[in-house]
Amino acid sequence: MYVCLCRGITDTQIRQAVQAGKDLRQLRKELGLASQCGKCLPMAKAIIKAELDKV
Ligand code: FES
């Protein structure tokens, strides 16, 4: 599922990045997550949190 429509970033990409030890700041920098309209930020944060809580 697409989380960030502006940059075409999926929840799978976000989950994989979190598993690789990346945080929101790195995702913003490397993928451009939430770097345009910013509407995806709450959803992206929720996915990152859910992924971190899994561990
Ligand atoms: Fe992510 Fe617009 S949907 S910046």
Query: Given ligand 1 and candidates 24, 37, 45, which is best to mutate, with the most ligand atoms within 8 Å of its CB?
Result: 37
User: Residue 32 C-alpha to ligand 1 middle, in angstroms?
Assistant: 9
State yes or no: pLDDT of 55 exceeds 80.
no
State yes or no: pLDDT of 52 exceeds 90.
yes
**What ipTM does the predicted assembly reach?**
0.98
Q: What interhelical angle do 11-19 and 41-54 show, nearest 10?
A: 40
Q: Is 50 in the pocket of ligand 1 (CB under 6 A)?
A: no
Fold of 2-54: Arc Repressor Mutant, subunit A (1.10.10)
Three state DSSP letters for the chain: CEEECCCCEEHHHHHHHHHCCCCHHHHHHHHCCCCCCCCCHHHHHHHHHHHHHHC
